[in-house]
């Protein structure tokens, strides 16, 4: 009942947002003062646009611009209302559809965002303005999130036809190729994104994940280091590098990277779980237990209870192991967990409980030879020699051994 190795590195989540940077004149050295200045200017713009709309309520552009200001101020509801009013006044206002789509995206309304991006692209399928290129990339990212990877590839490729030097399109297309396990194509696209933007931290990180998936561990480590150099607070890059170190058996370096991940993101459950597994490989069982405890407190998943149960078993805490397996079975009943709980109960002398668990395991997996053999052993301890022999024979038959098993 040993724990699994940390999982292979995964690409960071596809980020559908690509905002153009706003250029502001430097008005103060203090960032708080700059923020206050910008907010005051946005509020002035809002008042001016409201006055214009009051005098000219049929101007779609004024509603659109007021929506942009509301969006910048974080007023999503008002932004949506103004973009919708602009579209009502001018149904061919493609930029308003794009902006409303971005607002829907921020509100996690994927269907609404896709619908708006599609309306904009239907109006300007070959437009080269930034908002049209972004609409292709954003719609593609949403398609990829929904598993429609071929459609996502089409959108990313169309964006690149319109703007061949658009690094985010290469990056997101690389993510789609990664999810399709086309790692060579993913690496090529991440490399193109990096060639355009040498500080593209997520592209370095995800190229590292693709390289790791092809067994190029040293090259992957170099990319994770480049991602961290570009963004020293990039938790996922430390996490992925930790996974690579763990796969290579470099336990101390893996612990260091998982620890840095958690310093940046204390609620990173996967980092806690993977560090716990590495602690186990180092023989630091109490440290592993603490990490599993923290992970379960954040996210009580069945798999985490399973890992902690096996650790408790190895530490000689059968009651705690049984309790964790019981929690696991409430969340995700499965034959292996019942069989494991049966083993622990049998070792503790609870043969009736063990028989019940092995029987439950066989109800879920009638071909589980281990459960038949273990149930036979428990029945023998209960002096049910006939039942024991029958279970042993079934186990032998499932394993291709036709010789009958004699009771002990």
The per-residue pLDDT for 3 is 37
Checking if the pLDDT of 333 tops 90, the result is yes
Q: Which residues contact 383 (CB under 8 A, 6 or more apart)?
A: none
Question: Per the domain annotation, does 6 fall within a domain?
Answer: yes
> How confident is the model over 295-305, as a mean pLDDT?
97
For 255, what's the count of Cα atoms within 13 Å in the CB-facing half-sphere? Answer: 14
Q: Which residues contact 183 (CB under 8 A, 6 or more apart)?
A: 177, 210, 211, 213, 214
The per-residue pLDDT for 33 is 67
Which range among 127-131, 234-238, 360-364 shows the weakest confidence by mean pLDDT? 127-131
The per-residue pLDDT for 194 is 98
Question: Per the domain annotation, does 398 fall within a domain?
Answer: no
Checking if the pLDDT of 37 tops 90, the result is no
- Which pLDDT band holds residue 218 (cuts at 50, 70, 90)? very high
Using alpha carbons, select from 174, 195, 201, 196 the residue that is nearest to residue 185: 174
The per-residue pLDDT for 25 is 42
- Which pLDDT band holds residue 36 (cuts at 50, 70, 90)? confident
- Which pLDDT band holds residue 125 (cuts at 50, 70, 90)? very high
- pLDDT single digits (tens) 128-165: 899 999 999 999 999 999 999 999 999 999 999 999 99
- pLDDT single digits (tens) 95-116: 999 999 999 999 999 999 999 9
Question: Per the domain annotation, does 114 fall within a domain?
Answer: yes
The per-residue pLDDT for 10 is 40
- Which pLDDT band holds residue 31 (cuts at 50, 70, 90)? low
Question: Per the domain annotation, does 150 fall within a domain?
Answer: yes
- Which pLDDT band holds residue 400 (cuts at 50, 70, 90)? confident
> How confident is the model over 355-365, as a mean pLDDT?
98
The per-residue pLDDT for 408 is 27
Q: Which residues contact 26 (CB under 8 A, 6 or more apart)?
A: 34
The percentage of residues in the chain with a pLDDT greater than 70, rounded to a whole number, is 90
Checking if the pLDDT of 14 tops 90, the result is no
Checking if the pLDDT of 12 tops 60, the result is no
**DSSP letter string over 37-49?**
HHHHHHHHHHHHH
The per-residue pLDDT for 30 is 59
Which CATH number does the domain housing residue 130 bear? Answer: 1.25.40.10
Question: Per the domain annotation, does 135 fall within a domain?
Answer: yes
Helix, strand or coil, per DSSP, at residue 348? coil
Question: Per the domain annotation, does 399 fall within a domain?
Answer: no
Question: Per the domain annotation, does 269 fall within a domain?
Answer: no
Distance in angstroms (rounded) separating the CA atoms of residues 159 and 169: 7
pTM to 2 decimal places? 0.83
The per-residue pLDDT for 211 is 97
Question: Per the domain annotation, does 102 fall within a domain?
Answer: yes
Checking if the pLDDT of 403 tops 50, the result is no
User: Which residue range forms the structural domain that includes residue 134?
Assistant: 1-162
Checking if the pLDDT of 289 tops 60, the result is yes
Task: Write phi, then psi, for 108 (nearest 5 degrees).
Answer: 65, 30
The percentage of residues in the chain with a pLDDT greater than 90, rounded to a whole number, is 87
Q: Which residues contact 315 (CB under 8 A, 6 or more apart)?
A: 285, 289
- pLDDT single digits (tens) 382-397: 999 999 999 999 999 9
How many domains does the chain divide into? 1
Please check whether residue 227 is in contact with residue 201, taking contact to mean a CB–CB distance below 8 angstroms: yes
């Amino acid at each position: 009942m040993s724990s699994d190795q940390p999982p292979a590195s995964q690409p960071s989540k596809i980020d559908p947002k690509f905002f153009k940077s706003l250029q502001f004149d430097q008005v103060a050295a203090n960032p708080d003062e700059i923020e206050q200045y910008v907010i005051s200017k946005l509020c002035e713009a809002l008042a001016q646009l409201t006055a214009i709309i009051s005098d000219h309520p049929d101007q779609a552009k004024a509603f659109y611009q007021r929506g942009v200001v509301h969006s910048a101020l974080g007023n999503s509801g008002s932004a949506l209302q103004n973009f919708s009013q602009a579209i009502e006044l001018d149904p061919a206002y493609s930029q308003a559809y794009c902006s409303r789509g971005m607002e829907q995206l921020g509100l996690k309304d994927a269907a609404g965002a896709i619908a708006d991006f599609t309306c904009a692209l239907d109006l300007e399928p070959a437009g080269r303005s930034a908002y049209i290129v972004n609409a292709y990339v954003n719609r593609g990212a949403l398609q990829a999130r929904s598993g429609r990877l071929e459609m996502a590839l089409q959108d990313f490729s169309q964006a690149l036809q319109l703007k061949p030097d658009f690094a985010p399109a290469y990056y997101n297309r690389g993510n789609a190729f990664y999810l399709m396990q086309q790692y060579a194509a993913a690496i090529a696209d991440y490399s193109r994104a990096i060639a355009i933007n040498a500080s593209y931290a997520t592209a370095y990180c995800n190229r590292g994940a693709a390289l790791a998936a092809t067994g190029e561990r040293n090259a992957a480590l170099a990319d994770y280091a480049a991602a961290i150099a570009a963004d020293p607070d990039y938790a996922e890059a430390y996490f992925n590098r930790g996974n690579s170190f763990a796969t290579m058996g470099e336990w101390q370096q893996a612990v260091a990277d998982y620890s840095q991940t958690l310093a940046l993101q204390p609620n990173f459950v996967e980092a806690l779980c993977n560090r716990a597994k590495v602690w186990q490989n180092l023989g630091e069982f109490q440290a592993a237990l603490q990490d599993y405890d923290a992970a379960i407190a954040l996210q009580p998943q069945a798999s985490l209870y399973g890992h902690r149960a096996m650790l408790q078993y190895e530490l000689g805490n059968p009651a705690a192991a049984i309790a964790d397996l019981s929690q696991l079975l409430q969340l995700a009943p499965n034959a292996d967990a019942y069989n494991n709980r049966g083993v622990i109960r049998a070792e503790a002398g609870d043969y009736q409980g063990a028989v019940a668990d092995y029987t439950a395991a066989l109800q879920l997996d009638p071909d589980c030879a281990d459960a038949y053999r273990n149930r036979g052993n428990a029945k023998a301890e209960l002096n049910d020699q006939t039942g024991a022999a029958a279970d042993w024979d079934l186990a032998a038959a499932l394993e291709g051994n036709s010789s009958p098993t004699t009771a002990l």
